[in-house]
Structures are given as structure tokens and as C-alpha cells.
């Protein structure tokens, strides 16, 4: 699996204003990150607007949702939005889709749409994938090329769907997940993907770079800072840049994980690792 080339993304959700947001995008591009990613919550800017602005402020940086909630939009509306984003960004848009998130019920209630049961949300993700792959006649097709699709998953059924139909599988796993547990998730994907496993990109998230876990971050993730600091969680990297790069290279060689996103709070601290590994 060592032939899988590394990509790195920055997970960003906020800026003081449009100029600050554009500056964040340009800085990510300068540091060699491949993608700028943004969440889909009612408390942050609408992803399409924020990502179009980021793409307009940069030349090569790709932009993506991480991840759009299938539960709060009709499938064909998401397909329309994805085609429009591909058009507006010069095919630099990547559609990240998921079945929901903690607190997603509140957004659905705010927008006046049903959130649905887990089974209903799973079926909605399938409908979105169908609509993106085969847009109905009359729907704006943008550049005519399907955007790259990432599916975020943690449970076997969704992991299986992602393995069969996505370009990228993002492991939406608990913050204290270690390599042994990650290997179990990868095994589920491998079994479901069959022959296409080697063509899949596997993605994990780094929430903490270094030994100190910020209190605000641990509160947002719902974990104790001391427990995170002591753990071998894949969501935390520490050591020198070469040591961190070695950890990621081993994880790629053993498990196939080659796409890593990092919280924007650590964009500078993580940049030396990006310099060592990006595209290799």
C-alpha cells in the first residue's frame, strides 16, 4: 500500500469575515495542503458559499464538504449543489456526504425538515449517491464531470456503502480510537470493497498536534484532555515532524490511510509534516 500518495486537508469552520476566510484558504494552499474542508452546521457559514469563496481566493486548492448532511436536503438538491460547486470551482470541489452527526436533529428542526431514523438517513445517502452519479434530465450538470465523492462512516452498513460507491472513505470514529480499532474498521471496508479496495482512498482526522490538548477542543470532542494526552488515539499526533510523518507513513503502509485532515487550529504546527509527505 506504500504506493498510495498522501493528501492533506485542513478542516476549517470559521473566519472573522470574508477577507480572513480567504486568507485562511490562501495560507492552506501556500503550506501545501491539498484541500480546505468545512462542516455543514447551522452555526457555520453555508458550505457552498464558503467553499466557493475559498476556491476563488486560490489557484490549485481543492475544496470540500466534511461532511454535508444528507438528512436535511432532498437528494436532487444536493446533486444540483454539487454540480454547481464543480462548475464554480473549476472542478476543484469534492462532495463529502454523511447520514448525520451528533446534534443534527437540532439543525433539521431549525430548517423544518424531518431528520429521519438511522435507516431512513442511510437510504437518503444512497439516493444522494444515485442523484450525483445519474442526475435527472433538466438538472444543471455543471462541467458534466461527477465530483469526487467522500462518504463518512463508522458503522458497518455505512462503511460497506462507502466501500462500494465512494472515492474516499472517511472514518468518522470516536476520538480515542487507536490503530488496533482502526484496523477493524479498515477490515470492514476491505471486505465490502472487494477488488476496488486498492482504488479507494482512506481518510482519518487529526484533531490534536502536540502533547497539549486544548480544553476547548476536548470539550467539543467530549473527551477528557488527560485521557486524550495519555492515549494512542489516531486523532492525536505528537513528537518531531519526522516522528509524526513516520507514524502516518506506517499507518498508510499497514492500513492504507493516505488522506489526513487536520484541525485548522494546528495548520502551522502540522505544516512540516505536510512538507515531508505530501504527494509521496
Q: What is the CATH number of the domain that holds 79?
A: 3.20.20.30
Reply yes or no on whether the pLDDT at 223 is more than 70. yes
Task: Look up the domain containing 30 and give its range.
Answer: 9-202
Higher pLDDT among residues 134 and 221, named by residue: 134
* In a domain? residue 60: yes
Task: Kindly indicate the confidence band of residue 25, based on its pLDDT and cuts at 50, 70 and 90.
Answer: very high
* In a domain? residue 225: no
* In a domain? residue 248: no
Q: Tell me what pLDDT residue 221 has.
A: 73
* In a domain? residue 190: yes
* In a domain? residue 263: no
Higher pLDDT among residues 217 and 233, named by residue: 233
Reply yes or no on whether the pLDDT at 1 is more than 70. no
- 3-class DSSP state of 32: coil
Say how many Å lie between the first and final Cα of the chain, rounded.
12
Residues 5, 256 contacting (CB under 8 angstroms)? no
Task: Kindly indicate the confidence band of residue 2, based on its pLDDT and cuts at 50, 70 and 90.
Answer: very low
State the average pLDDT for the chain: 94
Q: Mean pLDDT across the stretch 83-100? A: 96
Residues 273, 33 contacting (CB under 8 angstroms)? no
* In a domain? residue 137: yes
Write the CB contacts of 77 (distance below 8 Å, at least 6 apart in sequence).
Answer: none
pTM > 0.75: yes or no: yes
Q: What percent of the chain has pLDDT over 90?
A: 86
* In a domain? residue 230: no
- The count of structural domains within the chain is 1
Q: Mean pLDDT across the stretch 77-104? A: 94
* In a domain? residue 266: no
Reply yes or no on whether the pLDDT at 218 is more than 80. no
Amino acid at each position: 500500500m506504500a504506493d498510495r500518495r498522501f493528501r492533506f486537508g485542513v478542516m476549517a469552520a470559521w473566519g472573522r469575515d470574508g477577507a480572513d476566510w480567504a486568507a485562511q484558504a490562501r495560507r492552506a494552499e501556500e503550506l501545501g495542503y491539498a484541500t480546505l474542508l468545512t462542516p455543514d452546521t447551522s452555526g457555520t457559514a453555508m458550505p457552498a458559499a464558503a467553499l466557493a469563496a475559498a476556491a476563488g481566493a486560490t489557484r490549485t486548492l481543492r475544496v470540500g464538504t466534511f461532511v454535508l448532511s444528507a438528512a436535511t436536503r432532498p437528494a436532487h438538491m444536493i446533486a444540483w449543489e454539487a454540480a454547481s460547486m464543480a462548475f464554480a470551482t473549476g472542478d476543484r470541489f469534492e462532495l463529502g456526504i454523511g447520514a448525520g452527526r451528533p446534534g443534527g436533529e437540532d439543525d433539521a428542526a431549525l430548517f423544518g425538515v424531518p431528520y429521519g431514523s438511522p435507516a431512513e438517513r442511510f437510504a437518503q445517502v444512497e439516493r444522494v449517491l444515485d442523484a450525483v452519479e445519474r442526475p435527472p434530465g433538466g438538472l444543471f450538470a455543471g462541467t458534466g464531470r461527477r465530483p469526487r465523492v467522500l462518504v463518512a462512516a463508522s458503522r458497518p452498513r455505512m462503511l460497506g456503502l462507502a466501500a462500494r460507491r465512494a472515492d474516499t472513505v472517511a472514518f468518522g470514529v470516536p476520538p480515542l480510537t487507536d490503530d488496533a480499532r482502526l484496523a477493524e474498521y479498515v477490515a470492514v471496508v476491505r471486505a465490502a470493497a472487494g477488488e476496488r479496495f486498492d482504488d479507494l482512498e482512506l481518510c482519518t482526522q487529526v484533531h490534536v498536534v502536540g502533547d497539549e490538548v486544548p480544553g476547548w477542543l476536548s470539550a467539543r470532542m467530549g473527551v477528557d484532555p488527560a485521557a486524550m494526552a495519555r492515549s494512542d488515539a489516531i486523532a492525536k499526533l505528537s513528537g518531531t515532524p519526522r516522528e509524526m510523518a513516520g507514524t502516518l507513513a506506517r499507518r498508510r503502509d499497514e492500513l492504507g490511510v493516505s488522506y489526513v485532515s487536520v484541525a485548522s487550529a494546528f495548520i502551522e504546527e502540522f505544516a512540516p509534516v505536510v512538507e515531508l509527505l505530501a504527494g509521496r
